[in-house]
Amino acid sequence: MHLLSLKEWDGDLIKSVIDKAIYIKNHQDEFHDPLKFKSLAMLFQKTSTRTRVSFEVGMTQLGGHALYIDWKDSNFTLADIRDEVRYLSRNVDLIMARLLTYKDVLLLANHSKVPVINGCCETYHPCQILTDLMTIQEKTGRLEDVNVVYTGVHNNVCNSFILGADKVGLNLTLVTPDVHTPAVDEEVMEIVKESPRISKKDNLKEAVQEADFVYTDSWVDMEYFLDPAYEKEKQRRVDLMTPCQINKENMEGSHAFIMHDMPIHEGYEITREMIESDKSLIFEQSENRLHAQKAVMLKLLNYF
Ligand code: CP
């Protein structure tokens, strides 16, 4: 079994991993060495803070070993990915990969002898959404019929949120005036059209009035944010997306908790005041990557 987009996981599996993640967080002493002598390869083609830290620390705390492989400093950069992973998966028990394209994530999974975890590609970010669902369940005690507003660009995080919400019975309202073209997935767009749990709204201020949680993400993917060649597109997005910013005015009258998967671009998708507000769960949410990643690794290695 792999974790690639969330399409391949059903609602019961998602819920069991979330329950386990919450249990692990509250009973860390019981989880010192279940993965003793196990190795996790972490392959990165893009930058990361949380994904790297949570998997590496998580594996260490579970008694195993995590191995960081930078794509450009390894022979993944010059050889056929299929051959490299056939070698790699004969030496490790689990692979987590943050690659530029889902096509390469699939190649990796299809030629690996061991489970592969998608650590975020251009189309999906399943590890993030499992963490976010965990954070929501921690706060509310449930997922069913919880109302979440996702405001921002329809991107990889949004795709995985739609897939997760539809499977666990959470109501998701999208305030997404723009779609990041590389993230377009027709199957996910069909879910948006057909699922009674997924809706779209134009006005953030209106949408947040009924929300239990409001969630945002960067308007520009990490690999483009500081790229001068992307400056014109970045400005177009800023102009279009500014009404979707989480700020005091848009949140007036709302009781919603505030979520952001990080890294944060202050003054773009969210203001400093909202990052620091009493309703912000952002740092609890980012801490939960650790607990959720532990549950994912234990599940994929058949420990529950
Ligand atoms: N949210 C997230 O995936 O963070 P990093 O990009 O820092 O790993």
Give the pLDDT confidence of 5-38 residue by residue, as tens digits: 999 999 999 999 999 999 999 999 999 999 999 9
Residue 170 has pLDDT above 90, yes or no: yes
What does the pLDDT read at residue 111? Answer: 98
Cα(196) to ligand 1 centroid in Å equals 30
Q: Measure the CA–CA gap between 149 and 174, rounded to whole angstroms.
A: 6
What does the pLDDT read at residue 225? Answer: 74
Write down the CATH number for the domain with range 11-124+287-300. 3.40.50.1370
Query: What contacts 125, CB < 8 A, 6 or more positions away?
Result: 118, 156, 157, 159, 160, 261
What does the pLDDT read at residue 18? Answer: 98
For CATH 3.40.50.1370, the residue range(s) in the chain are 11-124+287-300, 127-286
Helix orientation angle between 11-26 and 156-168, rounded to the nearest 10 degrees: 100
Which residues have C-beta atoms less than 6 Å from ligand 1? 48-51, 120, 128, 222, 261-263
Q: Which CATH number fits domain 127-286: 3.40.630.10, 3.10.450.50, 3.40.50.1370, 3.40.50.300?
A: 3.40.50.1370
Amino acid at 74: S
What does the pLDDT read at residue 228? Answer: 86
Question: pLDDT over 70 for what percent of the chain?
Answer: 99
Average pLDDT over every residue of 174-201 = 95
Coil, strand or helix: which one is 280? strand
Ligand 1 atom with least separation from CA of 127: 3
What does the pLDDT read at residue 221? Answer: 75
Specify the residue with its C-alpha closest to ligand 1, atom 4. 50
Query: What contacts 170, CB < 8 A, 6 or more positions away?
Result: 133, 136, 143, 144, 145, 146, 148, 164, 197
What does the pLDDT read at residue 241? Answer: 94
Cα(192) to ligand 1 centroid in Å equals 25
- pLDDT of 209-249, one tens digit each? 999 999 999 998 767 777 888 888 888 989 999 999 999 99
